[in-house]
Amino acid sequence: MTEKVIYQAPTFPRWKETHQRQAPETYRAKEDTRKTYHWVVLSYLKYDTEMIGVEQPTWFGKHGPTAFGKILSTWISHRRRCFLVQARNRRRADTYLVVFEQDGRFVTLYSKTKDDIPNAIFPISRRNATLLLRLSLAVGDEPSRKITDRALLVCVARKKSYNIQRHLELLKQRVIPAGIEIGVIQERAGEFFFTAEHKVVESTIENLNPFGWEDFAWRQHVDPYV
């Protein structure tokens, strides 16, 4: 039986010590990361792969909880466990990526407010995420959400004729496997299907967030024929 990992509580002194080694010297989100209620959330949150989507109260005032945290998604990157976390109080919310060694030791965290997270730490590349969004749009409202040959052709329709086959192979060999890895595509009897409607696919990729927030908001409405 696999022993459950207990994750070390992040603290500001530990973050300050490790982040100076892990991140560039110019860290644009220092002010955000030092906000008091954020550390109340980040230090008292229960980090658990089974707690995705569950809002956890982390601090209580006279009239009930005043600070909350929620794990949006989790993945392994460079052999380290990553948790994408929303920290909020009653007025605002911010998002952080919290990184642990796989044995539970805290490594560092990044603020998503100013998007300082290195692209390499995400489980899906910008290019593959963009193509997944295009493919999902091309599949459309088909109830089964089956990825048909027609949908694949829609995604490469504007490519030069001599490039069409190469881009079809890119979709089949790189993009669809990337979708399976992050859970938005599944294989059944040798055929491939999106696991949910397009809005849910968007939301899943947004939570993994290989883009900055503004960049992603624009790409949500990308033309599948481009």
What is the percentage of the chain residues whose pLDDT exceeds 90? 26
Interhelix angle 126-139/198-208, rounded to 10 degrees, is: 170
Q: Which residues contact 176 (CB under 8 A, 6 or more apart)?
A: 135, 147, 185, 192
What's the chain's Rg over C-alpha atoms?
20
What are the tens digits of pLDDT across the range 23-56?
555 555 555 555 566 888 899 999 998 898 899 9
- In the chain, % of residues over pLDDT 70: 79
Give the residue-averaged pLDDT of 174-202: 91
CA 81 to chain centre: 13
Collapsing DSSP to helix, strand or coil, 220 comes out as: coil
pLDDT digits (tens, 9 = 90+) for 48-100: 988 988 999 887 777 777 788 999 888 888 788 989 898 888 777 888 889 99
Under 8 Å CB-to-CB from 195, ≥6 apart: which residues?
Answer: 145, 183, 184, 185, 186, 201
Instruction: Check residue 224 and give its pLDDT.
Output: 41
Mean pLDDT of the chain: 80
- Reported as a single tens digit per residue, the pLDDT across 11-23 is 888 887 776 665 5
| pLDDT for the residue 139 | 93
Per-residue pLDDT reduced to its tens digit, 106-123: 988 887 765 566 666 777
How far, in Å, CA of 69 to CA of 77, rounded?
22
Mean pLDDT, residues 148-173 taken together:
84
Q: How many CB atoms lie within 10 A of CB 115?
A: 18
Has residue 3 got a pLDDT over 90?
A: no
The DSSP symbol for 211 reads S
225 confidence band (pLDDT: 50, 70, 90):
very low
What pLDDT band is residue 159 in, cutting at 50, 70 and 90? confident
